């Protein structure tokens, strides 16, 4: 299955410079992100592990999952984590018309606003699969969205790698300011549940903190 970069090359970050790939910081902090939830038990596992280390993270949620798991969604917010938009139905931007894609993004925004009036419509957006047309991105950026990508991909979704390899993908590529992708999904659960506690422990021991994206 391996057809992705576990460490995003610099030339890609420079070419798509209007997207956020990593964050500059004066502190030893890294930014954990979780895509595709909320998912029963799995998202709750993530929240529990984060709490042990006083860690904050950013959850890029699918609108239909927010609707179906509204209590878990509210728990993410009540624990002080950030919410991002991951479309209503996990659409692949390259394979979707602009009109359909942007309507799907808006549908997710509306659910986020409806369920939590305090945060309103999240302006953090991550395209599913990391695939988005330039025309789609221009529209979102023009309307105030921040397109949040990553510089470290754990590969927890990849059925062809081991859980140990998933952990090493994160450990060997993460540095100050890194944005790391995990998934709180059924498919990724086994590898994520193995890697996440170790990532939290190892980087905490090195003096790192875990922050949400604003």
Q: Both tokens of residue 6?
A: 């576990």
Based on the residue annotation, tell me whether 35 is a catalytic residue of this protein. yes
- Do 179 and 152 form a contact (C-beta atoms < 8 A)? yes
Cα-based distances in Å from 13 to 79, 99, 132, 150: 31, 27, 15, 9
pLDDT at 119: 57
pLDDT at 117: 62
Q: By residue range, what is the domain housing residue 54?
A: 30-188+203-210
Judge whether 104 lies within some domain.
yes
Judge whether 64 lies within some domain.
yes
| CA-based torsion, 6, 22, 124, 31: positive or negative | positive
Judge whether 20 lies within some domain.
no
| CA-based torsion, 45, 178, 166, 156: positive or negative | positive
pLDDT at 115: 84
Q: What is the pTM of this model?
A: 0.96
The per-residue DSSP string of 50-61 comes to HHHTT---EEEE
Judge whether 118 lies within some domain.
yes
pLDDT at 142: 97
pLDDT at 2: 62
Judge whether 90 lies within some domain.
yes
Instruction: Write the CATH number for 83.
Output: 3.20.20.370
Judge whether 18 lies within some domain.
no
pLDDT single digits (tens) 67-119: 999 999 999 999 999 999 999 999 999 999 999 999 999 999 999 998 876 55
Judge whether 16 lies within some domain.
no
Based on the residue annotation, tell me whether 183 is a catalytic residue of this protein. yes
Q: Given the residues 86, 158, 183, 184, select the one marked as catalytic.
A: 183
The per-residue DSSP string of 57-107 comes to -EEEE-HHHHHHTHHHHHHHHHTT-EEEE--SS---GGGS-HHHHHHHHHH
- Cα 57 to Cα 46: distance, rounded to the nearest angstrom: 10
pLDDT at 148: 98
pLDDT at 26: 84
Total domains in the fold of the chain: 1
Q: What is the mean pLDDT of each run of 10 residues along the chain (214 residues)?
A: 87 97 92 98 98 98 97 95 97 98 96 75 90 98 97 97 98 98 98 98 98 95
Judge whether 11 lies within some domain.
no
Q: Given the residues 35, 36, 151, 184, select the one marked as catalytic.
A: 35
């Amino acid at each position: 299955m391996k057809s992705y970069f576990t460490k995003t090359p610099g030339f890609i970050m420079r070419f798509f410079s209007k997207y956020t790939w990593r964050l500059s910081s004066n502190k030893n902090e890294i930014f954990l992100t979780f895509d595709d939830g909320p998912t029963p038990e799995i998202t709750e596992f993530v929240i529990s592990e984060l709490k042990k280390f006083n860690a904050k993270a950013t959850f890029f949620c699918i609108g239909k999952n927010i609707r179906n798991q509204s209590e878990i969604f509210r728990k993410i917010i009540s624990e002080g984590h950030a919410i991002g938009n991951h479309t209503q139905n996990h659409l692949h931007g390259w394979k979707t018309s602009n009109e359909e894609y942007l309507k799907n993004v808006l549908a997710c925004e509306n659910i986020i606003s409806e369920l939590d009036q305090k945060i309103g419509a999240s302006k953090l957006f991550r395209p599913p699969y990391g695939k988005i047309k330039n025309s789609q991105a221009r529209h979102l950026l023009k309307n105030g969205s921040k397109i949040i990508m990553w510089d470290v991909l754990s590969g927890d979704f990849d059925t062809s790698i081991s859980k140990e390899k998933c952990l090493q993908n994160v450990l060997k590529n993460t540095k100050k300011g890194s944005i790391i992708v995990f998934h709180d999904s059924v498919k990724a659960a086994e590898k994520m549940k193995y890697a996440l506690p170790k990532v939290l422990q190892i980087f905490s021991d090195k003096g790192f903190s875990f922050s949400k994206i604003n």
